[in-house]
Structure 1
Amino acid sequence: MPIMSRMLVCLLLVWRVAASGTEVVRVPLPESPGDHRTDYALQLLQLALSKTGASYRIEFSGFPMNQQREIRELEAGGTIDVASVPASPEREARLLPIRIPINRGVLGWRLGLIRKGDAALFAGVNTLEDLKSVRLAQEQDWPDTQIFRANGINVIAAPSYEGLFKMLVVKRFDYFPRSIMEIWDEQANNADKLQVEPHIALHYFYDAYFMVNRKNTRLANDIREGLEKAITDGSFEKLFWQYYGDRLRKAHLETRTVIELKNPLLTPETPVNRPELWYDFRRKPENPQ
């Protein structure tokens, strides 16, 4: 188990014991075994709730969920209370979003998973027009699928997250855009067959928010208050760099060709006027450590 994952388990266990009798906040189990995509978001949620002055305890739901199941459960007031949900107009209308980008926009910085030995296929890809000739894929329900298609890119839409890795290996497509948050763990889990493409970085303005049921305004306000306090006292940024610092440095964005994509899914409420909430290596200084 990765160090950060072990830390998360320990922190949650300690908090559970210390907060006996407090209000439970239910979060979804990861979509599949070994899926660590939500580890950081859970640590940030715990950080935010710890700064509210209220008493909360985080517990996992009884079964794994994909994004669409999470949204349905939140909307129905079902088995979960909050989830880290990639933003879109439809999701922000159905749920109550706390509009502070959880990952400081790193969800919109994309590298590609490719088959081992295929790097030469992408050496001449330098522009959006070049990218349109590349066979790439995403899960059918991800907002990224809509973003790529809105930029004129053909996207193979797959029904499941796990299935995408198998499809890439058997050459159903050639390039699997993944965020810097996720790609290194995913490559390590498929190290015998897949590698990270070394030349290109895709960028679009995009991230996930914590979202709750529209009636759960108290929890939403507490999460918002805790996040703002963490931003002010620096603990949000500290956690961000603790978790993502090595991943961002490993990406070597400064040496890559960055292809900018438009995101038609941004709502007017997106906090684009707060640059401190969004990571961009081109804005100096970025890494305080």
Structure 2
Amino acid sequence: MTPTTGASVLANTRREHLAARRAHRRFLLLARLAIVVIALVGWELVSGTLVRPFYLSSPTEVAATLAGWAASGQLWYHAQFTMTAAFFGYLLGAAAGVLVAWPLAVLRLAYRITEPYFLIAYSVPAVAMGPVFILWFGIGMAPKVLIAAYFVFFIVFINTVAGFSQVPASLLEVTRVMGASRRDQLPTVMLPSAAPFILAALRITLPAAMIGAVTGEFISSNRGLGYLTRAAAGSFSTSGVVAGVLSLSAIVLLMNLMLRPLRHALRWQREVDVPDAAAGR
């Protein structure tokens, strides 16, 4: 086989591979859209026939409620507060989880000493901390951010410690021999090795951050999608409650899309899955 022929075969193979990937993506998109359409049609048929609209509003009524909120500006007004609290709570909890895990993972004895206290704090239901934060910081934005950060912190912390503990000791010793300090080892050795664990934790804590922000709005707030949903429930508006839930789901999806650049940057890393149940505390 001549070099020209070999290059032609490789080019054809690459084109076939890319075409197969595009076809697979189209199939996945169509399959997902089909599931949504079937679910909406079934929902529309069930509402008002098998189930009373009071208990299960129809998609058309939910869409009308969302359109009304959007037209009046309520949706955008309340969504900005929820997104702000969830976003900054997510960043604060994730950063704190990594920064606290690093020295404790390096100083194994310190982690073994403090581990029971972290487990005790983690065992406290995060929802129960909502009234405490509101009592300490009032009913403004700060308690919502802190509640969201509390939901995120322990999941990121535990998985980061697990990721750091997987770093080969021989690799750390080699870098020390080459003159690297422990501070130098963090960006060059420890973070790349623990990246799959951290990334897995970041992915499953997106809903947790939203849960934290909405929890604060449910407890005490006069703005935000949590407040809007609570107000709809108080007026027995099933379509309003469902519209609020769908709006929150859309924000979580949007935040998940924001992690795509990070996932692409770490495509060389093997991803690690952690139990989704951890996010539902």
> TM-score under structure 1 normalisation?
0.28
Is the strand fraction higher in 1 or 2?
1
Q: Kindly name which structure, 1 or 2, has the bigger radius of gyration based on alpha carbons.
A: 2
> TM-score under structure 2 normalisation?
0.28
